[in-house]
Amino acid sequence: MKTFIYNVLPSRVIFGNGTLAQIVQEITNLGCSKALILTTPRQSTKGEQLKELLGDMAVDVYTNATMHTPTNVTDDAVGIVQKLGADVVIALGGGSTIGLAKAIALRTDLPQIAIPTTYAGSEATPIIGQTENSLKTTLKTLKVLPEVIIYDVSLTMTLPTRTTITSGLNAIAHAVEALYSKEANPITDTLAGQGISSIAKALPILVNDSQNLDARSEALYGAWVCGTCLSTVGMGLHHKLCHTLGGTFNMPHAETHTVILPHSMAYNAPYAQEAMAKVANSLGVSNAAQGIFDLSKSLGAPSTLKELGMKEEDLEKAADIASKSPYPNPAPLEKEGLLQLLRNAYGGVRPN
pLDDT at 66: 96
- Band (pLDDT 50/70/90 cuts) for residue 300 is very high
Specify whether the CB–CB gap between 149 and 102 falls below 8 A: no
Sheet with 12-16: list strands edge to edge. 12-16, 148-152, 112-116, 88-93, 35-38, 58-62
- In the predicted structure, residue 4 carries a pLDDT above the cut 90: no
CATH number for 161-347 (one of 1.20.1090.10, 3.40.50.300, 3.20.20.105, 3.40.190.10): it is 1.20.1090.10
Q: Which fold has domain 12-156?
A: Rossmann fold (3.40.50)
- In the predicted structure, residue 1 carries a pLDDT above the cut 80: no
Question: How far is residue 167's CA from residue 285's CA, in Å, rounded to a whole number?
Answer: 22
pLDDT at 6: 84
CA neighbours closer than 13 Å in the CB half-sphere of residue 107? 17
pLDDT at 327: 85
pLDDT at 228: 93
Write out pLDDT tens, residues 11-31: 999 999 999 999 999 999 999
pLDDT at 341: 98
- In the predicted structure, residue 5 carries a pLDDT above the cut 90: no
Please tell me the least confidently modeled range out of 54-58, 71-75, 110-114, 130-134: 130-134
- In the predicted structure, residue 249 carries a pLDDT above the cut 90: yes
pLDDT at 256: 97
- In the predicted structure, residue 114 carries a pLDDT above the cut 90: yes
* β strands within the chain, DSSP E: 12-16, 35-38, 58-62, 88-93, 112-116, 127-132, 135-140, 148-152
Residue type, 233: V
Which residues on adjacent β-strands are paired with residue 62? 38
Of 117, 205, 173, 201, which Cα lies nearest the Cα of 288?
173
Tell me what the mean pLDDT of segment 174-185 comes to. Answer: 94
Instruction: Tell me the domain boundaries of the chain.
Output: 12-156, 161-347
pLDDT at 283: 98
pLDDT at 144: 97
Helix, strand or coil for residue 20? helix
- In the predicted structure, residue 109 carries a pLDDT above the cut 80: yes
- Band (pLDDT 50/70/90 cuts) for residue 304 is very high
Tell me what the mean pLDDT of segment 285-295 comes to. Answer: 98
pLDDT at 247: 86
Please tell me the least confidently modeled range out of 79-83, 171-175, 226-230, 322-326: 322-326
Tell me what the mean pLDDT of segment 275-287 comes to. Answer: 98
pLDDT at 136: 84
pLDDT at 320: 94
Tell me what the mean pLDDT of segment 28-44 comes to. Answer: 97
Write out pLDDT tens, residues 197-232: 999 999 999 999 999 999 999 999 999 999 999 888
Residue type, 203: L
Q: What is the mean pLDDT of the chain?
A: 95
At residue 148's C-alpha, the angle toward residues 142 and 149, to 5°, is 105
Tell me what the mean pLDDT of segment 293-301 comes to. Answer: 98
Backbone angles phi, psi at 350, to 5 degrees: -65, 130
